[in-house]
Amino acid sequence: MNITVYNTMNNRKEKFVPREEGKVSIYVCGPTTYNYIHLGNARPIVVFDAIRRYFIYQGQQVTYVQNFTDVDDKIINRAKEEGITAAAVAEKYIAAYFEDVAALNVMKADIHPKVTEHMADIIDIVQKLIDNGYAYEAEGDVYYSVSKFADYGKLSGRDIEDMKAGARVEVGDIKRDPMDFALWKAAKPGEPAWQSPWGMGRPGWHIECSAMSHKYLGDDFDIHGGGADLIFPHHENEIAQSEAACGCNFVRYWLHNGFITVNQEKMSKSLNNFFLLRDILNKFSGDVVRFYLLSTHYRSPIDFDDKKLEVAAKSLGRIRNSIAFLDNAIANGGGTDKAAGTALLEAMQTAKDGFENAMNDDFNTALAIAAVFDFCKAVNSNAKGAEPKVLAEAKALFTAFDSVIGAFAVKTQADDGLSEELMQVIIKIRQDARTKKDWATADSIRDSLKAIGIVLEDGADGVRWKRV
């Protein structure tokens, strides 16, 4: 394994050396469960799923942890809006999360810890910070004393004195310093709360990930991932808390994906320019959305619009057509053209090298997919004549590539909940419209099916349909 990663801590690519040979530990910040996830949330979910898959492809044993923040001001406010408990809100949107990411072919984490199930761990680390002189209690709240941690700002590159100059203490604020942040919040009437040495309350946001990552991955684990928006303050504060508590190096490599933008502005709920993933999935298949997200290097921004997803659908269709062509050649028993077989074998080695070189270079899925496209050209030119053994090896290589990219396999009708009978009804309605020369309706049916990944093929023997 010869992988280099771009480490945000040092702002450069570094050779990846795991804490323990043959094993990789990864923690990725999960969603705050007060709403359905949007496309911006989906990007790190897909990106780090592909990174995890590539380590597995390389024969590594991966422990992958992704949390749910299931107690938060936003959850409490949503509970008031919906007239249900905060716990019910969290459970509702956790269930929705699993539904949505399943469509993106995302593997479940080995561990999906929830904040509410780890209060004892959180309280323990807060107490340790107090005992170590890095935190203090004030009227039932507990704050982290930022000035006590000499390396504060080392991840984000921010200067603490500059940050202090721009901060101010509000009237009545009980913090000793405007830069200090909450580790524990005293209970407010009507809000969920837990017993602690400082009274009833609930944790601050940052301490949660420190406690859960430490519990499941220990100190000095390999990779901590998330969106670039988490670098400051969330990940900066995680470092301050964790290293002050354990006296250790918290994480070896920090990886952050770039933003998704809309008209060059970051997609976010605060700007109200976000698109819920489930709304997008009503127009495009999850495989297309996943392919779209991986067609750009994870650190680069992506500007979103439907046309780019339409392009992704066509590109994915080209790969799937090559796989279908290969499958047909295998089904027909292959050929005896040794030159075609030799050409295909050479293309396989070139594609494998290109794919792995791209992924080894900071998980460049865009270049890895380009290597797959080059392989498709060789398949289209040589599969019909190549020997059966070579065709089987070519099919195995596609399967290996897709174990990382996770978008090439064509879903069966059973997978999609579609049935042949239902499609024949739709085809008949379209054919009736064409007979009546109602071209607008016929074209609308065809285009609507295409948008969700179903292509109609008109032929002399009738109309066939297929998933792309």
Query: Could you read off the pLDDT of 338-370 as tens digits, one per residue?
Result: 999 999 999 999 999 999 999 999 999 999 999
Q: What is the pLDDT of residue 468?
A: 58
Q: Per-residue pLDDT for 425 more than 50? A: yes
Q: What is the pLDDT of residue 270?
A: 64
C-alpha dihedral (235, 267, 311, 399), degrees to nearest 10: 30
Q: Where are the domain boundaries for CATH 3.40.50.620 in the chain?
A: 4-290
Pick among 1.20.120, 1.20.1270, 2.40.128, 3.30.1370: CATH of 309-405: 1.20.120
Query: Could you read off the pLDDT of 382-408 as tens digits, one per residue?
Result: 999 999 999 999 999 999 999 999 999
* CATH (residue range 4-290): 3.40.50.620
Lowest-confidence region among 78-87, 140-149, 154-163, 412-421: 412-421
In the beta sheet, which residues pair with residue 185? 202
pLDDT class for 92, splitting at 50, 70, 90? very high
In which residue are the tokens 């269709």 written? 317
Query: Could you read off the pLDDT of 114-136 as tens digits, one per residue?
Result: 999 999 999 999 999 999 999 99
Single pTM value for the model: 0.86
Handedness of CA 367, 371, 372, 377 (dihedral sign): positive
Report the C-alpha gap between 127 and 243 in whole angstroms: 14
Element (H, E) at 183: strand 181-186
In the beta sheet, which residues pair with residue 76? none
Query: Could you read off the pLDDT of 5-33 as tens digits, one per residue?
Result: 999 999 999 999 999 999 999 999 999 99
In the beta sheet, which residues pair with residue 65? 27, 111
Q: What is the pLDDT of residue 159?
A: 87
Q: Where are the domain boundaries for CATH 1.20.120 in the chain?
A: 309-405
Q: What is the pLDDT of residue 393?
A: 96
Query: Could you read off the pLDDT of 146-205 as tens digits, one per residue?
Result: 999 999 999 999 888 777 655 555 545 789 999 999 999 999 998 999 999 999 999 999
Q: Per-residue pLDDT for 268 more than 90? A: no
In the beta sheet, which residues pair with residue 457? 464
Residue 274, Ramachandran bin (φ over 0: left; ψ between -120 and 50: alpha; else beta): beta
